[in-house]
Amino acid sequence: MNISDNTFLREENNFFAGVRDCLPTVLGYLSIGFAAGVVEKTAGLSIVEIGLISLLLYAGSGQFIAAAMIGANSPALAIIFTIFFVNLRHLLMSAALSPYFRHLTPGKNILIGSLLTDETFGVAMNEAASKKWLSEKWMHGLNITAYLNWFIANIAGAYFGEWISNPEKFGLDFALPGMFIGLLVLQMASRKKLLKDVIVALSAVAIVVGVGLMASGSAGVIVATIIASGVGMAVEKWK
């Protein structure tokens, strides 16, 4: 086996390592994606429409909001603008990951960014914290696995949804928060900077609650993300 063969195997291992590291996210997506499919079906969407919205929108919170607003016969522009503002956080997540992929072409960066979600971002940042770098192939393995799994889970929920009228009864509504908690704990454990992480977390919670009292919860999340990031930079330099 020559050097080029070794390089090829290394790249293949990187891709399948991303698939492997996505497995915890897969388990969470199966339940929350199933619940999304049930809600979308209840809102009157067909299986084809549910498949398209899971592939094109590909956002758990956005799809739940869309289903609720469609069920309430909200105007199309209201649905579009609401989902747009809720998903603005993806700009911040993409910006946080961009330094690891500056060597790639714009097209390759768009491919990575277009499939980025809250969960894959959390896994990627945990990987970056432990290894200080990210592989393009690993990122594709992570993103594509999550993407296909989300689509399958949505379709399954749409198909079997008629027999499940109340997803909360089975705890499916807690799958997404539970997954975020797991990713947060893993990242905090790998950093080994518990005090600093707790300070940033408490700052984010306080900001979300404070802004949420005056504006919407979505606005609180966006503001908390921006300000808590600044707090994180400050405490990172704190000796």
* pLDDT, tens only, 110-141: 999 999 998 899 889 888 877 778 889 999 99
Statement to judge: residues 174 and 56 lie in one domain: yes
Statement to judge: residues 141 and 201 lie in one domain: no
Statement to judge: residues 176 and 208 lie in one domain: no
Instruction: Indicate the burial class of 44 (C-beta count within 10 angstroms; 0-12, 13-18, 19 or more).
Output: exposed
Statement to judge: residues 68 and 119 lie in one domain: yes
Statement to judge: residues 118 and 131 lie in one domain: yes
* Per-residue burial over 149-183, b = 16 or more CB atoms within 10 Å of its CB, e = otherwise: bbbbbbbebbeebeebeebeeeebbebbeebeebb
Domain extent, residue 25, equals: 3-192
Position 218 scores a pLDDT of 63
Statement to judge: residues 165 and 113 lie in one domain: yes
Point out the residues of the chain with pLDDT beneath 70.
1-13, 164-168, 170-180, 182-183, 186-187, 190-192, 216-218, 238-239
Structurally, how many domains does the chain consist of? 2
pTM over 0.75: no
Q: What tokens does 122 get?
A: 């959390």
Position 3 scores a pLDDT of 46
Statement to judge: residues 58 and 154 lie in one domain: yes
Statement to judge: residues 171 and 205 lie in one domain: no
